[in-house]
Structure 1
């Protein structure tokens, strides 16, 4: 980035002062979307098996087709978000589609209907995450994005905990079908709350990482896709994401299976406890990441912490099958996943500054997550069937260690320390107040 462009960007971002209404809108959408992005999510299999008596093969077919649709749609979804300015409307419409899809599944749970509906939901959900991140970037700018994303993630994990508790209560006392109505409630409310984000607070060029494109030195167009593929830092980051999720994704399902084997009848309760405990840790970790970035800690150092925790978690799982120990070890997932949820978006933003391809990079990151998760579940399952749980966890730990090594050796620091033109002493009181209000953190 040229000195002119950087100075222009700094002046533009340091003077940003979005309204409290827009910031609260981002908080509310982050909380509510936690239960909307995946629709009925993992509870669909329980509904189809327990109340509709589907075969495992048909359930697997539905999950596989929707998972494939989600993976293939990630990059096109990111490109679409980069191109569109009506991001609030996209989130609202997507939420309404998710609500409608859940009602259709509840009323007509047949194989053709659910295949079509789940595929549609996978396609729609692919744009929700990039849209929310793009809105955040467009409202607060690059300089404050890390702290804003950490706040978003904190509300998201709090929403996950709330949804899990409500879903468990409804499923236990009112029946599984009421889970669909719960998702509809969250979806309808999120479609309304996203409108709290004021259009005047959104810089759409910032929202796609293209602030340089509007300077006299910019071309006015996003960089070619070919140029992105040739970026070593971007390819290293995506390779790390694949390896991270290769090592991570299967650990929780394997832990649930291990609990079921060691304590029959306690698998659902144990798995639920694992999920809720990890989500609570993620709330605290997301906030801590925001404070660390604000204190000047580099993105690379923070991500290395997440990469270092993951192989340790796998080794500990390999040493015990005690249900209480498994739940305790799962707390480490809150550390690694909590960091990843914040820092991956921030690194993507850093790498795409001035390219106009921020949301495309988010789509590529989501695709890398899907590839890693698919490999993790398939390969670890084969290893466990042949050699046992300990071998499966050890294999995942080795992949996680490889992710740490690749990132440590080949990934540079991506943060750019930005100061307003003329130095920090020239930052206006208004800019300092804007910085504090945007993040929701007081100094």
Structure 2
């Protein structure tokens, strides 16, 4: 059954436009609160948010919704998404909420929900909540409404947790690190955790004003970080996104290190220490072929999934892997977290750097990426990928690559766009094949 409100990562949209309105946020609170009131204990939800202006509006609306159906609310304030997931579980809450649109501009916002185990909700739970949203949700009697309170030590709890993932035998003394927090949810906790581990921290993107989240800073805009690392003589730069569940690294020369290189670094370190479960890692179809070849040369396997951290996590849980992620830097380390955690992933990378005693420019660039090109083709309607002429062009392209490259062609899950990606050792061939397929899709969609 298709979901009406929930997308691949919660509910998301432009603020004050359906479905991201205060009225809908209150209804989501009522529906989720009613759905998760199981058992005869006093029920509790924890709510975190990033630094968007609209976070206050949506937070207040959700508090009204949850308390109206009898659920107590614990407000965490600005906190990373993984912190909300962790605190949901550690505080024995029935439900966790993160109000964030991740790496999107400030005018967007979203609602992510976590179950009592700290994992994102199943399809079944989301469908059940959607059914309640569209129905009449009974309110509790006046004496039974929930209470709301803020927790002052939430940041300290998460910092302590993040630091606990860094080996006790290592320190960051003498290492100058630039951390870019995207003016988002990690702007307080990330610099503090690095400083407490001994690093000389230079923090940028730590002055949120409600409208500057992800604006020229963070993992999707690393230019300022690259400039700052070089100008300050830092050994490393770390960039988080708006809700701090993604990580991009910059080496001391100002070169960006993407999620594929970081996963290779972490997986190799885990394998060396005998910690890599199932002898491999999980990545999406968008991860570079160079990563697959690099891992294979070390005897490390790679399982590919569809696009999205949710599919990565499902494969990790089903098959027993403890390292997975996306090229974009959404890295899941299931020994520590139930979702992507930019700070925890950064600490694992730092631990490997300290252990190696080598410059980041040498140690983190694990392989040369195979030439890869992604183009989007917008269409008005229909199903152009089912057109026989498009199928023929794709089949011809696959035959031409002859096992020396990959094609990934898929419709977007959020907009009328066909995404065409090819990679192979010959960049001219890759470009030619992508353009040929894109042209065929445009003709079929005309």
Interval containing the TM-score (normalised by the shorter chain):
under 0.3
- Which one has a larger percent helix, Structure 1 or Structure 2? 1
Higher RCO, 1 vs 2 (CA within 8 Å, ≥6 residues apart):
1
TM-score, with length taken from structure 2: 0.26
TM-score, with length taken from structure 1: 0.26
